[in-house]
Amino acid sequence: MVELLDEGFDVLILDDLSNSSITVLDQINKISNKKPLFEKLDLKDKKGVQELFLKHNDISGVIHFAASKAVGESVVKPLEYYENNLVPLINLLQEAEKTNRSFSFIFSSSCTVYGQADQLPITEEAPIKKAESPYGNTKQIGEEILWDTVQSNDNLNVISLRYFNPIGAHESLEIGELPIGKPQNLIPFLTQTAAGIHDKLNVFGDDYPTPDGTCIRDYIHVVDLAKAHVVAIKRLKEEKQNESFEIFNLGTGKGSSVLEVIKTFERVSGEKLNYEITARRNGDIVEAYADTYKANNVLGWKATLNLSQGIKSAWDWEKKIRNKS
Ligand code: WQD
């Protein structure tokens, strides 16, 4: 939102506040000196979405982030994930179609659609494999829904952004990740462990076929990710896209192992992290990092922040929300 506001976009935030706080609007205002419009809305509520598009009858684009994203949780609650990640998408697309005007749609997708890619780095042409989790499947199905809708609607132009592993917080430390309950992802669990909330970090396996035995991921700073969305929506608004449905991998192009992440944390924080090697986590893939050629040379976006900066911002954010010095 901050990046969109800074670029002069009129922004309306829709959120059901099930996994976020309304206070974020004040924090956005503090950073941008602009307060975005906000509507509390459950996007699964078809009538509510219809009424919203009638009330805000000049909406010409959507960046659709609203989805559940915990891989492990999706295995336990598949129907909740299919409902929460797909019904809102369909409701938004149906209203977009009804506007009968050129409509830009940015979809928050994921590198999980590739599963364990056969070739690294991973390009957008890598084959889509059977999803390893309902979460990953909702991203694959979401892209299929968008592809089919674009074929039947000349007004709709879509960019699907396949995120690798987002980490970090805004440099102002006004906004950052606020996981509800025990975080599933590595970085928030790591920083919470360092903040004393957990006694140790479990490293899920060190017997993988990688240099140090732990899994490798492409950790991308969330601010770089945000900037990519501005570039993407501008691309659609300025009708620069090459086809009506484009896909871009959003990563740094560099893979880092879990142990490398831990060592980087200890270096940038000066803290010693308590961790233990434990059993592998079901569903984990061994290695994933992005081929950034298309994002850099077609989309015209490149990650500028590195792993150390991402981890440092995550740690600074953790200390702030825990009122630690
Ligand atoms: C990273 C690595 C774990 C926790 C995420 C998101 C998914 C998608 C892709 C955007 C793995 C290891 C983790 C812990 C650990 N992103 N780990 N101990 O699984 O790559 O998926 O990125 O759509 O939404 O979930 O990320 O942070 O869970 O795990 O050892 O306590 O850290 O085994 O190798 P993952 P993650």
Q: How do strand 216-217 and strand 256-257 relate by DSSP bridges?
A: antiparallel
Residue 183: pLDDT over 80 = yes
Kindly indicate the confidence band of residue 19, based on its pLDDT and cuts at 50, 70 and 90.
confident
Alpha helices, DSSP H only, in 8-59? 24-32, 46-55
At 37, is the secondary structure helix, strand, or coil?
strand
Read off the pLDDT of each residue in 258-267 and give the average, rounded to a whole number. Answer: 98
Beta carbons within 10 angstroms of residue 233's beta carbon:
21
The span from the CA of 31 to the CA of 226, in Å, is 14
Kindly indicate the confidence band of residue 324, based on its pLDDT and cuts at 50, 70 and 90.
low
What percent of the chain clears pLDDT 70, i.e. is strictly above it?
99
At 307, is the secondary structure helix, strand, or coil?
helix
- Which tens digit of pLDDT belongs to each residue from 213-249? 999 999 999 999 999 999 999 999 998 898 999 999 9
Range of the domain at 63: 2-319
Q: Classify residue 323 by its DSSP letter.
A: T
Tell me whether residue 325 is in a domain: no
Token pair in block for residue 204 = 């899920």
Tell me whether residue 85 is in a domain: yes
Q: Is the link from the previous residue into 121 a cis peptide, with omega within 30 of 0?
A: yes
Ligand 1 binding pocket includes 284 (Cβ within 6 Å): yes
* Residue-wise DSSP of 52-67: HHHHSTT--EEEE---
- Output the CA 31–ligand 1 centroid distance in Å: 29
Residue 19: partners with Cβ closer than 8 Å, 6 or more residues away = 68, 180
Tell me whether residue 143 is in a domain: yes
Kindly indicate the confidence band of residue 25, based on its pLDDT and cuts at 50, 70 and 90.
confident
Q: How do strand 61-64 and strand 216-217 relate by DSSP bridges?
A: unpaired
pTM: predicted TM-score of the whole model, two decimal places: 0.93
Q: Which residue's CA is minimally distant from atom 1 of ligand 1? A: 186
Least confident of 10-24, 55-69, 212-226: 10-24
Number of domains observed in the structure of the chain = 1
Read off the pLDDT of each residue in 88-93 and give the average, rounded to a whole number. Answer: 97
The CATH number of whichever domain residue 183 belongs to comes to 3.40.50.720
Q: Which residue's CA is minimally distant from atom 16 of ligand 1? A: 165
Tell me whether residue 231 is in a domain: yes
Tell me whether residue 324 is in a domain: no
Higher-pLDDT residue of 321, 43:
43
Burial letters for 281-317: b for 16+ Cβ neighbours within 10 Å, e otherwise? Answer: eebebebbbbbbebbeeebebebebbbebbbbbbbbb
Q: Which atom of ligand 1 is nearest to the CA of 165?
A: 22
Tell me whether residue 63 is in a domain: yes
Identity of residue 94: Q
Kindly indicate the confidence band of residue 173, based on its pLDDT and cuts at 50, 70 and 90.
confident
- Output the CA 248–ligand 1 centroid distance in Å: 20
Q: Which residues are catalytic?
A: 135
